[in-house]
Amino acid sequence: MIMKFIIAEDKLKKVKEFMYDYIYKLFEENDRGELSHTFGPDPDDYLNDENENYFIFYFGDYDDNDTAFEWTDKNSCEGKCPKIFLDNKLKSELDITFGEGFWHDSFKSYLMKHYDKTFNSIANLFGESENYQIPDDDDVFDDDNVDTWV
């Protein structure tokens, strides 16, 4: 038996606001330190460590090696770009808390509001065991593709 739930638009908006608030607190109000960012290395010029197409977002001091995620645009990655390489633990926490992929729009909103960045795909930061392409909104919220909502 397939169960389908219809969520009113105002309820969906509240869910998305909750996800946004959760993501904000995960990155901005945590015990790991302030989220900062710096340019990443330029793969075409190893002497230049300021690649404007690649940013590393990290907690605390850069030397602590506590990377939250890395962002790259279409000029420096393969696949559907711009792209986020998210820390495996953070990605797992978001997938477990909200369901795989349902938090992506809220994460996009957070990045756009605070860092003027967006993305089209997400991969694991350490290892490419998963390369999740973000589906179009029409695919995610199509009644044929969604069986249950939390």
Does 76 reside within a domain? yes
**pLDDT over threshold 60, residue 110:** yes
Residue 9 tokens, joined: 């638009």
Count of structural domains, the chain: 1
> How many whole angstroms separate alpha carbon 132 and alpha carbon 123?
6
* pLDDT value, residue 149: 38
**pLDDT over threshold 50, residue 5:** yes
Does 3 reside within a domain? no
Mean pLDDT of the chain: 77
Does 147 reside within a domain? no
Strands 83-86 and 121-124, bridge-based pairing: parallel
Does 84 reside within a domain? yes
* pLDDT value, residue 122: 84
Lowest mean pLDDT among 80-89, 123-132, 136-145: 136-145
Lowest mean pLDDT among 32-46, 62-76, 83-97, 100-114: 32-46
* pLDDT value, residue 139: 45
- Which residue range forms the structural domain that includes residue 89? 9-140
Does 111 reside within a domain? yes
Q: What is the mean pLDDT of residues 15-39?
A: 89
Phi, psi at 96, each rounded to 5°:
-70, -40
Q: Please tell me the pTM assigned to this model.
A: 0.70
The number of angstroms, rounded, from the C-alpha of 119 to the middle of its chain's C-alpha atoms is 8
* pLDDT value, residue 93: 92
